[in-house]
């Protein structure tokens, strides 16, 4: 009797994982086709679009660039330098020192000759107390806010309160932008005459690149395998995921490392909330606000504008990052669970929210069940062996071949990697993904579920080595 129950349960879980993986693979195949067509179309247009017109001040919308910084002494100077030299006609840079315990503030004061300024700050969003506001004597459009520690969302809200312009961009303190990135990411906002209220660009891994004076001089790959795998992972997430979702206004994530937002709509939505996934939660809340008010606005993703950021190069820091991302995903979906399968929210409620729940959130659990089924089948043997081999092949296709497809999209369109050997390295590591890297990310993300049950809310310590010098 017990033996029959055991075999029934094994068959049930194996079949469930098999069907789940089949549906996910079909979904990603459709996403790949949509992304390939859209990316190629954007790439062909980018060669012809007159971005030079956007350099005209009378034509371009001014922009506030917000840089939340907490213990970023190793990368903050290079990041700010890159922002001071971007191609954009009218903008301001606001660095928010969120109670750093290292020399972040001292370095900023010394490097940019900051002086205190007296100014009444309109508290449109509630934040921790601001100790002082500084302005650079070298660059009049550079401001630095020194405030009590309140977390990234609190720092961004403080920056929004201080900003002068109708649109703002959030940039991580360890990031470096390509010089024309803002021209490209702002173009859909300007062209839409207000219909696009948020726009996000691609984020790439800076490790292995040569960066001088806040600018990427040459693009390369790091030597560490886990960093190379993150390069592939970012290509897959941005080029295959977000392009397809953006095409139908289904995007629920604009990366906190590089995203432009309408200040008016963000303030009406209540600003950034205190959560480990503040970037996604804000976008979901904006969609919810727009649907409640029956506003036909868009949130889009543009592949070409690139922001280069430092990636963890040690397992313990990478595991903390993926754990935090998954907790942030759960938090965002849980806070807005009433949108799920709710026709009131249109395609966001009926397609996008279920996608992020069933594929992004539950995906690691289903993959973990798949790995356990394969191991148990190898032990039990019999009829389950062929089932296990088939499931393993599906997981290889899902984990490795789709990553290779993302590398192919990169080489076919954007071509950010000039060295042929780098493309070969990316293809090789894509093939190995299912055998070591993907199981690790599954474990890290599943641990995020455990931490959700434990009600863990912290970010965890992250190491910065300063690639943006």
What predicted TM-score, i.e. pTM, was given to this entire model?
A: 0.90
Nearest alpha carbon to residue 175 among 106, 251, 76:
76
User: Which of 18-27, 208-217, 361-370 is predicted with the least confidence, judged by mean pLDDT?
Assistant: 208-217
Q: Which residue has the higher pLDDT, 3 or 242?
A: 242
Cα separations in angstroms, 101 against 88, 133, 303 = 33, 18, 36
pLDDT in tens, 271-284: 999 888 899 999 99
**Residue 340 falls within a domain, yes or no?**
yes
Per the domain annotation, does 363 fall within a domain? yes
Tell me what pLDDT residue 202 has. 87
Alpha-helical runs (H) found in 236-362: 243-247, 263-268, 278-292, 315-335, 346-347, 353-355
292 neighbors 342 (Cβ within 8 angstroms): no
Does residue 31 lie within any of the structural domains?
Answer: yes
**Is 25's pLDDT higher than 60?**
yes
Between 146 and 119, the higher pLDDT residue? 146
C-alpha 433 chain-centroid distance? 20
Q: Classify 466 in phi/psi space as left (phi over 0), alpha (psi -120 to 50) or beta.
A: left
Residue 46 in this model has a pLDDT that exceeds 60: no
Cross-strand partners of 177? 307
Using a pLDDT cut of 90, give the percent of the chain over it.
50
List % helix, strand, coil for the chain (3-state, nearest 5). 55, 15, 30
Domain annotation covers residue 149: no
**b or e along 258-296 (b: 16 or more beta carbons within 10 Å of the residue's beta carbon)?**
bbbbbbebbeebebbbebbbbbbbbbbbbbbbbbeeeee
Q: How many other β-carbons are positioned within 10 Å of the β-carbon of residue 463?
A: 12
Residue range 97-113: average pLDDT?
A: 94
Whether 336 maps to a domain, the answer reads yes
Q: For residue range 289-330, what is the model confidence (pLDDT) as tens digits? A: 999 999 999 999 988 778 888 899 999 999 999 999 999 999
Q: At what angle do helices 225-235 and 437-453 cross, to 10 degrees?
A: 80
Residue 237's domain comprises 1-48+174-469
User: What pLDDT digit, counting tens, does each position of 429-464 carry?
Assistant: 999 999 999 999 999 999 999 999 888 776 666 566
Question: Does residue 349 fall inside a structural domain?
Answer: yes
pLDDT band for position 3 (cuts 50, 70, 90): low
For residues 70 and 155, what is the distance between their CA atoms, to the nearest angstrom? 9
| More confident site: 383 or 179 | 179
Judged against a pLDDT cut of 70, whether residue 467 lies above it is answered with: no
* Total structural domains within the chain: 1
* Measured distance CA(23)–CA(5) in Å, rounded: 27
204-213: pLDDT as tens digits: 899 999 888 7
Between 315-335 and 225-235, two packed helices, what is the crossing angle to 10 degrees?
30
Is 132 a domain residue? no
Q: Which residue has the tokens 């900023």?
A: 108
Does any domain span residue 121? no
95 beta partners: 67, 144
pLDDT of residue 48: 46
With residue 91 as reference, give the H or E element that holds it: strand 91-98
């Amino acid at each position: 009797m017990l033996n029959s129950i055991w075999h029934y349960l094994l068959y049930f879980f194996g079949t469930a994982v098999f069907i789940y993986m089949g549906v996910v693979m079909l979904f990603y195949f459709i996403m790949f086709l949509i992304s390939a067509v859209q990316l190629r179309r954007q790439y062909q247009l980018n060669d012809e679009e007159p971005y030079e017109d956007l350099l005209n001040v009378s034509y371009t919308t001014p922009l506030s660039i917000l840089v939340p910084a907490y213990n970023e002494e190793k990368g903050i100077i290079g990041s700010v330098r890159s922002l001071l030299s971007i191609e954009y006609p009218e903008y301001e840079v606001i660095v928010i020192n969120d109670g750093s315990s290292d020399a972040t503030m001292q370095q900023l004061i010394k490097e940019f000759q900051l002086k205190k300024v007296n100014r009444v700050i309109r508290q449109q969003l509630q934040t921790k107390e601001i100790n002082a506001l500084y302005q650079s004597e070298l660059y009049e459009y550079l401001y630095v806010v020194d405030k009590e520690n309140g977390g990234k969302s609190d720092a961004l809200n403080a920056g929004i309160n201080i900003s002068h312009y109708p649109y703002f961009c959030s940039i991580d303190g360890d990031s470096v932008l390509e010089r024309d990135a803002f021209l490209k990411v702002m173009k859909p906002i300007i062209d839409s005459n207000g219909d696009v209220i948020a726009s996000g660009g691609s984020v790439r891994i800076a490790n292995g690149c040569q960066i001088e004076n806040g600018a990427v001089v040459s693009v390369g790959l790091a030597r560490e395998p886990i960093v190379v795998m993150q390069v592939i992972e970012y290509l897959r997430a941005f080029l295959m995921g977000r392009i397809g979702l953006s095409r139908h206004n289904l995007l629920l994530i604009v990366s906190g490392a590089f995203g432009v937002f309408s200040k008016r709509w963000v303030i009406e939505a209540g600003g950034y909330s205190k959560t480990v996934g503040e970037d996604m939660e804000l976008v979901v809340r904006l969609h919810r606000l727009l649907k409640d008010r029956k506003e036909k606005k868009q949130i889009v993703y543009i592949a070409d504008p690139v922001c280069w950021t430092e990636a963890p190069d040690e397992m313990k820091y990478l595991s903390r990052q993926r754990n935090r991302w998954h907790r942030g995903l759960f938090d965002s979906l849980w806070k807005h669970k009433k949108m799920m399968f709710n026709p009131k929210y249109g395609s966001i409620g009926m397609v996008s929210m279920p996608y992020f729940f069933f594929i992004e959130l539950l995906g690691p659990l289903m993959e973990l069940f798949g790995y356990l089924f394969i191991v148990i089948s190898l032990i039990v043997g019999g009829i389950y062996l062929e089932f296990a081999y088939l499931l393993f092949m599906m997981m290889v296709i899902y984990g490795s071949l789709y990553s290779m497809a993302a590398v192919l999209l990169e080489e076919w369109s954007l071509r950010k990697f000039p060295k042929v050997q780098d493309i070969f390295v990316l293809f090789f590591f894509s093939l190995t993904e299912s055998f070591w890297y993907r199981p690790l990310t599954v474990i890290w993300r599943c641990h995020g579920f455990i931490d959700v049950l434990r009600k863990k809310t912290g970010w965890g310590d992250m190491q910065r080595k300063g690639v943006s010098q």
